[in-house]
Structure 1
Amino acid sequence: MPRRLLEIASNSVASALAAQAGGADRIELFDNLAEGGTTPSFGSIALARERLTIPLFVLIRARPGDFLYSADETQIMLRDIENCRLLGCDGVVIGALDADGEVDIALCTALVAAAGPMQVTFHRAFDAARDLPQALEQVIALGCQRVLSSGGQASAEAGADMLAALVAQAGGRIGVMAGAGLNAGNIASVATRSGCHELHASAKATRQSTMRHHNPALPGLSPDWTATDAAEVAALRAALDG
């Protein structure tokens, strides 16, 4: 069996570098972790590209919330993809649905075309689709290299049976990457149950602020933050390889 690929969802350049140090095979760079991720800044993408030696994929998502996008949001995403091409990224992560929960073929076709030679992953908008088997065929027709999915469930562990069905349906025409709720304790079993050879996790941990001054009157402005932890990535890698 070929070595399973570990992609780490990284919410900053520091997280991406920690993921690389921990043994990640690929980075998905994004911002705004608390709301499911949005496109990171140009500066973040540029510095990540300069510093990383492993493949860099960038999330293309104009805002949090649903996956039904306006004309202006479409233009934002197209320009963000253009920036990723200019910066030499290896891939982008896209996805859009229409109001009825079908894959937005017209919009996604434009996003895939804009990606040009970069690889394309269809993100977990897929899990919000009305009919996952039908959505898989649509994503395959778009020419995406892989789809990220939890099998339509809150976690890949809960959706492992559906993921296995999707892998069988795909028949090698597209990669099915399991993601959501993966940790060192369950990633190997999810990989085995689902048949997925690519796994996606965040390996996040809380970073304690080193500020000596903190205003307690600002409870909504926590000095701490969440970032990828290299040791957590190493534990995921060891679990997959074990």
Structure 2
Amino acid sequence: MLIEICSENIEIALKAQEKGARRVELCNDLPIGGVTPSYDEIEQARRELSIDLNVLIRPRGGDFCYSAAEIAHILRDMEFCGSLRSDEGRAVDGVVIGALARDRSIERGACSEMFAAARQFGLSITFHRAIDRSRDIFKALEMIIDLGADRVLTSGGAESAFEGRETIARMVKMSAGSDTLIMAGAGITPENAQLIIEQTSVPEIHGSRLSLLDIIWF
């Protein structure tokens, strides 16, 4: 079981590393769902962390329908992540990306462009919780799998992964045999984590609570 810690700043990321996390997602401004951290923060995180580092690429809060200018901004941020190297030669490991059309379907054109850029720079791809706002979460997942995401972060379209656990379980079954894994996230606590894992069979969970790392995992 891999636990990814969502880290709003480098201090939390370092604490997560100290407690045994294997991967962090770096972002800013969690109260609005997270946005892209500054380049200085990304650079510092890669310099100071020895564990895997994924970076949220989201130019603003609100919806996930982006203008051409915002897509260009996203691609520039991805290029920065892809070209960054620490003194030891370590790169950012992955990016957390995604986009929706106005009808809340997956914006295939924009996502194809983002995914191609990620592959060009050797970045793993996590499709973020935009999928939870899609009009049909299962059709969205089919397209994301077809596009080639490495993982999908989801609450199953609910306010929390606990509430959405039946949908998450179905998503895990849908993705079986593909190269895309499902990572449960939103409202995961030490009290409900094991039940979510048992009832969904997710291989990874995502949360901001460092106390998740204190659980003895089976």
**What is the TM-score normalised by the length of structure 1?**
0.84
Provide the residue aligned with 1:239 in structure 2: 215
- Cα deviation code 1:95-136 (max 9, x no counterpart): 100000100000011111111211000000000011111101
Provide the residue aligned with 2:105 in structure 1: 102
Q: CA deviation at 1:195?
A: 0.8
- 1:56, 1:26 → 2: CA distance? 6
Q: Which amino acid aligns with 1:120?
A: I
- 1:170, 1:58 → 2: CA distance? 23
- 1:14, 1:29 → 2: CA distance? 11
Provide the residue aligned with 2:124 in structure 1: 119
Aligned partners of 1:167 and 1:196 also within 8 Å: yes
Provide the residue aligned with 1:151 in structure 2: 156
Aligned partners of 1:7 and 1:25 also within 8 Å: yes
SS of 1:241's partner is coil
SS of 1:127's partner is helix
**Equivalent residues in 2 for 1:162-241, closer than 5 Å:** 162-173=167-178, 174-203=180-209, 233=210, 235-239=211-215, 241=217
Among 114, 134, 139, the residue aligned to 1:134: 139
Aligned partners of 1:185 and 1:239 also within 8 Å: no
- 2:146, 2:66 → 1: CA distance? 21
Aligned partners of 1:92 and 1:120 also within 8 Å: yes
Q: CA deviation at 1:237?
A: 2.6
Q: CA deviation at 1:69?
A: 0.3
- 2:164, 2:56 → 1: CA distance? 23
Q: Percent identity at matched positions?
A: 44
SS of 1:46's partner is helix
Q: CA deviation at 1:34?
A: 1.3
Q: CA deviation at 1:140?
A: 0.5
- Runs of 4 or more consecutive aligned structure 1 residues displaced over 2 Å after TM superposition: 237-240
Structure 2 gaps of 5+ residues are: 85-90
| Greater gyration radius | 1
Asked whether 1:80 is paired with 2:56, we answer no
- Cα deviation code 1:12-69 (max 9, x no counterpart): 1111111111221111000111111000000000000011111000001010000000
- 2:216, 2:206 → 1: CA distance? 12
Structure 1 gaps of 5+ residues are: 204-232
SS of 1:23's partner is coil
- 1:55, 1:104 → 2: CA distance? 28
Asked whether 1:160 is paired with 2:165, we answer yes
- 1:105, 1:202 → 2: CA distance? 29
**What is the TM-score normalised by the length of structure 2?**
0.94
Aligned residues: 209
Aligned partners of 1:188 and 1:240 also within 8 Å: no
